[in-house]
Amino acid sequence: MKLPSIYILLICLFTSFTRFIVETTAFNLTLPHQHPDPEAVAEDVKRRVNASLSRRHLLSIQEKDQCQTGNPIDDCWRCNSNWANNRQRLADCAIGFGQGSLGGRGGQIYVVTDSSDYDPANPKPGTLRYGVIQDQPLWIIFSSNMVIKLKHELIFNSYKTIDGRGANVHITGNGCITLQYVSHIIIHNIHVHHCKPSGNTNIAASPTHVGWRGRSDGDGISIFGAQKIWIDHCSLSYCTDGLIDAIMGSTGITISNNHFTHHDEVMLLGHDDKYALDTGMQVTIAFNHFGQGLVQRMPRCRRGYIHVVNNDFTAWEMYAIGGSANPTINSQGNRYTAPTDDNAKEVTKRVDTNEGDWAGWNWRTDGDIMVNGAFFVPSGGGLSAQYSKASSVEPKSAGLIQQLTLNAGVFGDPRDDSGSISTPGFSGGGTSSTTNTGVQGSGSSGGGGDYFGMIFGSGAPPPTSTSLIFLSLLIILILCTITNHVALESFPLLSL
């Protein structure tokens, strides 16, 4: 009986070990591109801001007016009057968790010359959709001002930059932008607005893969299981669901210099309170202007580490920052201007959670400016010790929010508008050009999968604890088979 007993013991030990691996994977996650020390990233952001402000302080008045704002992203490339000759320099300018997002750096320049979107399953060369699905890195620019009215959601492939500098570009219509199981995406200087749900159709996700898509939510920008994403200097408003949503294990994200207006649920970070992979979500929200007509979710966080730094919150109706499921929220050097409603002065909201449950959550305010009765409710017993490293660099920038966010949104847009968005050609449905500068892709077949009733295009989902459980059960089954075989050989009477 010794031999079967040894195998049974091994099975028990292996089961315990497997359970340990699954639990540590689920609750001490390591997502692709997740930073091991988020506090160091927060400290680096403040250091860069303070360095840019110090440089500006040393300049003459004329030099300050030319380019130096103290905003480290803009000062990185705008001071070069010949920036258009080296557009890909922009990829060096990201800060925070999205730093290192390559976008299409190193790839060819692809020029969008055709604003139409007639066939999402077979996009025409020269269109934006044709460019974003290619397999190779591309730096995508626009030949002229245009409104791109999407027929269905615009699905990206990895290593793409949309660079709207030098043109007035609007993306609107059905589905809008989908970043799903991709990495290294930069979206810069475009308008995204009036996005509506769509789907139940075939859409190309790569040059060689067309897949069936379920119905989308109508987000402006949907980030789903994606990493190394940088969204900068965009103007977003009037979408059916969120303006920017990041869910399902997305991480390594920077949302900077954007202008958000006229929307209810602005930004969602995290799929579900019980979705463990989002514990590894890390997002930097910096230099944004949260403007007219906003209600809530700036952002609303479920898990992960969210660094909210040097933003100007000039309007909300319910709350600015909300959360559940114990996210870490590090708020530094922001300006929060409360509405006139006495019942909406609080910046923070713990969603559907009792105080006894959220008292230990790490929510911290450091150097924030509270205006018109705004107040931030911090929490977390070990707060000061946990943030001591990040606090070693003081946020000198809080009093300069107007200056740091002066150019938030698409360059040349007003800081806030009168209640409507200028959308030249919005009702025209797009124009076309016979000039074709589209880049042909070499192509490789993408994978597909069905998750929560949605069919996805290229790319594979990140590994989850479910995969580990399946693998463990398979190994245990093999061990059991071996055990039974050995037992029968050693003790033939057992087979009678």
Give catalytic residue positions.
297
Dihedral sign, Cα of residue 251, residue 226, residue 233, residue 292: negative
CA atoms within 13 A on the CB side of 309: 32
Helices (H), 321-399: 355-358, 383-386
- Cα-based distances in Å from 265 to 66, 68, 296, 320: 37, 34, 5, 10
User: Which residues fall within 8 angstroms of residue 340, CB to CB, at 6 or more apart?
Assistant: 372
User: Which residues fall within 8 angstroms of residue 58, CB to CB, at 6 or more apart?
Assistant: none
- DSSP-based three-state secondary structure for 233: coil
Cα 259 from chain centroid?
16
The whole-angstrom separation of Cα 198 and Cα 206 is: 19
User: Which residues fall within 8 angstroms of residue 183, CB to CB, at 6 or more apart?
Assistant: 32, 33, 158, 159, 226, 227, 228, 229, 252
The whole-angstrom separation of Cα 46 and Cα 91 is: 19
The whole-angstrom separation of Cα 484 and Cα 465 is: 29
Structure tokens at 235: 């103007």
Buried b (16+ CB within 10 A) or exposed e, 223-238: bbbbbbbbbbbbbbbb
The whole-angstrom separation of Cα 126 and Cα 123 is: 9
Q: Please list the residues that pair with 40 across neighbouring strands.
A: none
Residue 264: CB atoms within 10 A of its CB come to 16
Q: Give residue for tokens 């995969």.
A: 467
Phi-psi region of 104 (alpha: psi -120 to 50; beta: other; left: phi over 0): alpha
The whole-angstrom separation of Cα 420 and Cα 19 is: 55
CA proximity to 47, closest of 377, 392, 378, 463: 392
Dihedral sign, Cα of residue 145, residue 151, residue 152, residue 157: negative
The whole-angstrom separation of Cα 295 and Cα 313 is: 11
| CA quadruple 178, 182, 185, 191: dihedral, nearest 10 | 0
Q: Please list the residues that pair with 186 across neighbouring strands.
A: 161, 230
